[in-house]
């Protein structure tokens, strides 16, 4: 059962030109890496959104959520939050978690803001030094759209268990990446052992659906090895 809490904003962090993280005081109810919450910036339905928790339970003392800032009223209000402001959250929700889907080898497939729960799980696995081999295949339009790049670089530096393969529509000079969109060739090149992996897919529903189709129809990955989180609303 998810509980509701009034919390204070601690910090707002600009992640990219159009993505912001908000950190609020931790209300004390535990969560699993990869779960989500509902943020209410007012009573009206238009001021409520489901957002994944982007920090890990190992990063204690606060909860963080990370939103792509659009023109919506919710986005605009979120974007203007300052430390000390109050808001309401309800959590924990969701089964897009390592605990609910434990595996020795994981492939995360994600695009854009769909990285948020994956950042949480990756951080958790790295901080706990769990024996889990992770490949993240992360698609973005350009290098400027990559969210949590420094974080993933830092994780890959401390743990040989995590590797990141970037896929960009617009490649940047001197930046190692595949070009285009995630497809079966990129998946099998980046993880030749893909048949042994559990795939976690997260992003807008259309992207998740197309990734699932590639895995099932082109790579014969069984349904039991595919875990999904749909960011309804994009």
Q: What residue ranges bind ligand FAD (CB under 6 A)?
A: 36, 49-52, 66-68, 70, 72, 74-75, 113, 116, 229, 231-234
- Residue (168 or 203) nearer to ligand FAD, CB: 203
Host H or E run for residue 152: helix 149-158
Least Å distance, CB 116 to ligand FAD, is 4
Least Å distance, CB 88 to ligand FAD, is 15
Strands of the 86-93 sheet, one edge to the other: 48-52, 36-40, 86-93, 3-16, 19-25, 62-68
Least Å distance, CB 208 to ligand FAD, is 11
- Residue (66 or 190) nearer to ligand FAD, CB: 66
Least Å distance, CB 220 to ligand FAD, is 28
Residue 77 near residue 70 (C-beta atoms within 8 A): no
Residue 65 near residue 21 (C-beta atoms within 8 A): yes
- Residue (64 or 133) nearer to ligand FAD, CB: 64
Least Å distance, CB 41 to ligand FAD, is 10
Least Å distance, CB 160 to ligand FAD, is 28
- Residue (37 or 186) nearer to ligand FAD, CB: 37
Residue 100 near residue 32 (C-beta atoms within 8 A): yes
Residue 42 near residue 49 (C-beta atoms within 8 A): no
- Residue (71 or 131) nearer to ligand FAD, CB: 71
- Residue (105 or 151) nearer to ligand FAD, CB: 151
- Residue (45 or 82) nearer to ligand FAD, CB: 45
Host H or E run for residue 15: strand 3-16
Strand partners, 111: 139
Host H or E run for residue 93: strand 86-93
Closest chain position to ligand FAD (CB) = 233
Strand partners, 67: 20
Least Å distance, CB 225 to ligand FAD, is 21
Give the contacts of 92 (CB within 8 A, at least 6 positions apart).
2, 29, 30, 31, 32, 35, 36, 37, 53
Cα 169 to Cα 86, 141, 144, 166, 177: the distances in Å are 39, 5, 12, 10, 10
């Amino acid at each position: 059962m998810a509980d509701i809490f009034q919390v204070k904003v601690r910090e707002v962090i600009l992640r990219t030109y159009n993505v912001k993280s908000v950190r609020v005081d931790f209300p004390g109810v535990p969560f699993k890496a990869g779960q989500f919450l509902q943020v209410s910036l007012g009573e009206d339905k238009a001021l409520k959104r489901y957002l994944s928790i982007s920090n890990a339970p190992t990063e204690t003392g606060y909860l963080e959520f990370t939103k792509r800032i659009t023109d919506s009223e919710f986005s605009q209000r979120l974007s203007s939050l300052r430390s000390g402001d109050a808001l309401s959250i309800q959590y924990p929700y969701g089964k897009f978690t390592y605990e609910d889907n434990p595996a020795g080898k994981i492939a995360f497939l994600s695009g854009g803001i769909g990285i948020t729960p994956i950042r949480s799980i990756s951080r958790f696995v790295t901080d706990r030094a769990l024996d889990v081999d992770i490949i993240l295949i992360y698609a973005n339009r350009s290098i400027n759209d990559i969210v949590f790049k420094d974080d993933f670089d830092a994780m890959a530096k401390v743990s040989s268990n995590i590797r990141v393969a970037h896929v960009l529509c617009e490649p940047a000079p001197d930046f190692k990446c595949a070009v285009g969109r995630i497809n079966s060739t990129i998946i099998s090149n980046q993880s030749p052992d893909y048949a042994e992996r559990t795939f976690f897919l997260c992003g807008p529903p259309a992207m998740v659906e197309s990734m699932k189709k590639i895995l099932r129809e082109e790579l014969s990955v069984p349904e039991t090895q595919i875990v999904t989180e749909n960011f309804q609303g994009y």
